[in-house]
Structure 1
Amino acid sequence: MKKILAVLNLFLLLGTSLWAESIQVIPSNPQVERIAIVSAFGPEVVKLKSIATIEEEIVINGKSFTLCEIEGKKAVLFLSGVSMVNAAMTTQLALDSFNISHILFSGIAGGVNPDLNIGDVTVPAKWAQYQESLFARKTEDGYNLGWHQEIYPGFGMMFPQNVEVTHGRLDDVDGTEDKFWFDVDQELLAVAEKISDVTLLSETDEAKLSHVPKLVVGGTGVSGMTFVDNAEYREWAFDNFQAACLDMESAAVAHVAYVADVPFIAFRSLSDLAGGGEGENEMGTFFGLAADNAAEVLLQFLKAWN
């Protein structure tokens, strides 16, 4: 019986050790200042990894972080995972684990602005969590918002609301700040505005566009928890927010960056038109092309950024 207990204890110790290793591996030089370069899912980071000089791979709580140098900048590359919650959680984990000076997001998005096309790259000046909403009570006279304010006109019963934000720059402990828009860093945006010689893909082995994609810096972007493939909703998003694009992560990362007081900017290329196309949703065809275009703009940004 003692031998059995000893064996069980050994397995328990080994299991605990392996579990702890999978939870957190400490980087060899955690004090080195790095840029965080974030993408939501695998295809968005392929081009960036192919350019980077990789130093080491770190696993924290099951999430991989690639420490590297890219275009002369020390960086940590990682995937946030798709969705607002994943993006916020993983970004905060990175901030807690590394010495991060700036946060850059590279990925795909759905196009909202009717003047933009698939493959175009947008670099919005501000982001909103536009699906933070009140589902209003329907009455004979229309929708009753009760004590809530109408920040923007609703889509049916869904009325966008501000987000309550708590951070250390507020005067009151546990106080909140109501925000709808989260601005990107103005110095980073100024660098993006200087990019002029970027060459964007219009064709890959899997997809071909009938137009030449372009880079658009400025304007707005919106993020929410739903994948959008609806022409009416897309039109509402543009009418209300003049959004260039919509996605499921950027505004969440902008929120975390704002609270942490870390400069943030996002590069998003259109993989589809969020329901505005003539046929089926185009993401399955063009996500690789769009991901590479967003990454190319980010690389040109790094070259231009001192």
Structure 2
Amino acid sequence: MKIAIIVAMTKELNLLLPLINSCKEVSSANGFSYYEGLMAGKEVAVMQCGIGKVNAAVGAFALIEAFHPDIVINSGVAGGTGSEAKILDVVVGDRVAYHDVWCGPCAERGRIQGMPMYFEAPAEVLAKIDESGHVKKGLIASGDQFVDNAGELARIKTLYHDVLAVDMESAAIAQVCHIKGVPFTSIRVVSDTPGEADNTSQYQHFWDDAPLQTFHVLTQLIEAL
């Protein structure tokens, strides 16, 4: 099985690369660099796409074209929503959706015309992840903004009352995978909660703890695939 892993930021990439055996950097004709090797005994290719929906979509498409994976996994951080997913909890996206999309009066908010409202992770993949302790399964909502205030979070929760986490890439990667017919799931560790104390400070200090919870879940999933 060939597994593609996408992260957005250098900080995330630097935490992930030490977990890859026989890791080598590969430059492709499309201008992206990948890191190929073995993780939990499986063939993997890792890329850093950059922050935001456009970077995520372009990176996902390029990685799929270059590596032809059997599954794409997005790993990284996300904001909490004041739900049961707290700081350092891991949210596995059983569904992902956009929170900043509206195609007009005849369309549902959050849905791109011609696309599903929710991009769902394969049930057989979700079944391999143990939901216990710090691991939660639920909805991740994506948009091109760092959500840092309670008012914006409240708006998102009017669209998706059960949203567990917010990020800037998952839905865009999921849409590309949907178009290309490649299974996808997102695994995110909660770094901060908008509206609770100083969430920007929470996010900054989060990296001081070098959290590896999301990679623990990622490794367990890859072992089980």
TM-score (norm 1): 0.68
- Superimposed CA distance per residue, residues 26-77 of structure 1 (whole angstroms, 9 cap, x where no aligned partner): xxxxxxx621011111121233211211342111344220011000100001
**1:277 to partner: Cα distance:** 1.6
Q: Does 1:54 align with 2:22?
A: yes
Name the counterpart of 1:107: 76
Q: Does 1:252 align with 2:210?
A: no
**1:107 to partner: Cα distance:** 0.2
Equivalent position SS for 1:236: helix
Contact 1:44 1:107 in 2 (8 A): yes
Name the counterpart of 1:298: 218
Contact 2:91 2:189 in 1 (8 A): yes
Instruction: Count how many residue pairs are aligned between Structure 1 and Structure 2.
Output: 222
Equivalent position SS for 1:125: strand
| Aligned partner (choices 130, 144, 148) of residue 225 of structure 1 | 144
Letter in 1 for 2:68: N
Change (3 A) 1:148 1:35: same
Contact 1:66 1:77 in 2 (8 A): yes
Contact 1:108 1:290 in 2 (8 A): no
Equivalent position SS for 1:238: helix
Who wins on radius of gyration, i.e. which is larger? Answer: 1
Percentage identity across aligned positions?
Answer: 27
Q: Does 1:92 align with 2:61?
A: yes
Name the counterpart of 2:13: 45
- Superimposed CA distance per residue, residues 162-185 of structure 1 (whole angstroms, 9 cap, x where no aligned partner): 213xxxxxxxxxxxx242211112
The runs of 5 or more residues in structure 1 that have no matched partner are 1-32, 135-144, 152-159, 165-176, 197-212
Letter in 1 for 2:189: S
Contact 2:102 2:112 in 1 (8 A): no
**1:288 to partner: Cα distance:** 5.5
**1:280 to partner: Cα distance:** 4.7
Q: Distance in 1 between matches of 2:146 and 2:199?
A: 14
**1:195 to partner: Cα distance:** 5.8
Give the root-mean-square deviation of aligned CA atoms: 2.0
Q: Distance in 1 between matches of 2:110 and 2:192?
A: 26
Contact 2:99 2:159 in 1 (8 A): no
TM-score (norm 2): 0.90
Contact 1:112 1:234 in 2 (8 A): yes
Name the counterpart of 1:186: 123
